[in-house]
């Protein structure tokens, strides 16, 4: 065809294989950097949860500077956090709403931590509150926090300690003082369950979701579902983990089970089975959910928003799923 000149393309586009390879290399390295900050790991790629640093106790009498009182203490919590949720559940079961106030913080991907919905103690972030309690504090700023308004400091930031205090040290202000979630005769059994549930379920779901090697994930996932199967067997013959009455072991398990089908099943790759699919665990979860005041502590939308919206390394697009349908929790047990 005379008179027609073909225009040569300048340069060549990168072949798809190279684009994919480069993208994978860049994202993997960025992901590993972000995960190292979000989820400390050992050499095998297993998630290692750092220890809590504030471990003082409120105790009647004795030499403790922290004495039980109404209006003196505040719980700083995040509605999506299962560890903070424990403290809300015990506060509700004991009827301590009037004695201990609650202030809500929300996770912020932009600031990289928890921020106050409205300023507290002239602080806008939880990190600032930690620094107020301990100048030059350099550790993790986590919820829950049991705050003493009188001395302007953190009493305790370990949920396992806080729920023991709420159970026993505020009975003179509680609407339900007779309820004992940690009876002396069951302490050994409760602690045995607590150790197993913490390692393989409460923290186990995080060990699945934050695993940085296939081997670490496989190990955590096997331990998680082996333990859930064991609990399922126990609940076939028992209403609660330690018998006919609810204990702190049930509270500690409940807040993970509530989140399981909502976020851990999908986002954390704990997808061998839903809690809804277990015959006895599903009834157990419904029973706990329907106890007086407990449902009011459960915020499904906050759970989804806090996990899917803020754990960027696990969900880069930030898309929050519309499901699952959790209405079965309201069915008769």
Q: Which residue has the higher pLDDT, 55 or 297?
A: 297
* For range 15-36, the mean pLDDT: 60
Q: Are both 212 and 235 inside the same structural domain?
A: yes
Catalytic site includes residue 270: no
Q: Are both 146 and 189 inside the same structural domain?
A: no
Most confident of the ranges 92-106, 109-123, 310-324: 92-106
CA atoms within 13 A on the CB side of 182: 18
pLDDT digits (tens, 9 = 90+) for 101-159: 999 999 987 777 899 988 999 999 999 999 999 999 988 899 999 999 999 999 999 99
The residue from 206, 217, 265, 289 that is catalytic is 206
Domain with residue 169: its CATH number is: 3.40.30.10
Binning pLDDT at 50, 70 and 90, where does residue 313 land? confident
* Domain enclosing residue 261, as ranges: 184-330
What is the model's pTM? 0.89
Domain with residue 287: its CATH number is: 1.20.1050.10
Q: Which residue has the higher pLDDT, 253 or 46?
A: 253
Is 149 inside any structural domain?
Answer: yes
* For range 178-186, the mean pLDDT: 98
The residue from 47, 81, 264, 289 that is catalytic is 81
* For range 89-111, the mean pLDDT: 94
pLDDT digits (tens, 9 = 90+) for 153-177: 999 999 999 999 999 999 999 999 9
DSSP code of residue 273: -
Is 197 inside any structural domain?
Answer: yes
pLDDT at 60: 87
Per-residue b or e along 171-206, where b marks 16 or more CB atoms closer than 10 Å to that residue's CB:
bebbeeeeeebbeeebeeebeebbebbbebbbbbbb
Residue 7 pLDDT > 60: no
Name the least confident of 36-45, 103-112, 206-215, 260-269.
36-45
Query: Based on the structure, what is the number of domains in the chain?
Result: 2
Catalytic site includes residue 182: no
Q: What CA–CA distances, in Å, run from 162 to 85, 245, 252?
A: 11, 20, 12
């Amino acid at each position: 065809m005379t008179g027609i000149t073909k225009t040569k393309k300048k340069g060549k586009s990168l072949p798809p294989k190279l684009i994919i390879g480069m993208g994978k290399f860049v994202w993997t390295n960025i992901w590993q950097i972000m995960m190292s900050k979000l989820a400390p790991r050992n050499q095998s790629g297993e998630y290692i949860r750092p220890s809590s640093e504030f471990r003082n106790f409120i105790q009647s009498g004795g030499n403790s500077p922290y004495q039980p009182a109404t209006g003196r203490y505040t719980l700083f919590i995040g509605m999506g956090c299962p560890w903070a949720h424990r403290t809300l559940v015990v506060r509700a079961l004991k009827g301590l709403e009037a004695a201990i106030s609650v202030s809500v913080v929300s996770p912020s991907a932009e600031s990289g931590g928890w921020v106050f919905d409205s300023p507290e103690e002239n602080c806008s972030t939880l990190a600032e509150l930690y620094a107020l309690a301990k100048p030059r504090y350099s550790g993790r700023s986590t919820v829950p926090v049991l705050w003493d308004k009188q001395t302007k400091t953190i009493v305790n930031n370990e949920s396992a300690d806080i729920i023991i205090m709420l159970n026993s040290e505020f009975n003179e202000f509680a609407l339900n003082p007779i309820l004992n979630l940690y009876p002396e005769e069951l302490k050994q059994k409760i602690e045995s369950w607590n150790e197993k549930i913490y390692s393989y379920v409460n923290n186990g779901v995080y060990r699945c979701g934050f695993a940085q090697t296939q081997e670490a994930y496989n190990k955590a996932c096997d331990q998680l579902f082996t333990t859930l199967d064991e609990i399922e067997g126990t609940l076939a013959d028992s209403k609660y983990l330690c018998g006919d009455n609810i204990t702190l072991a049930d509270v500690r398990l409940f807040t993970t089970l509530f989140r399981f089908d909502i976020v851990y099943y999908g986002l954390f790759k704990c997808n061998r089975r839903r809690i809804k699919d277990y015959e006895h665990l599903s009834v157990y979860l419904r029973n706990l959910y329907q106890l007086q005041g407990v449902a009011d502590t459960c915020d499904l939308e906050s759970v989804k928003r806090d996990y899917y919206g803020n754990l960027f390394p696990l969900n880069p697009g930030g898309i929050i799923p519309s499901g699952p349908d959790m209405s079965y929790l309201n069915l008769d047990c």
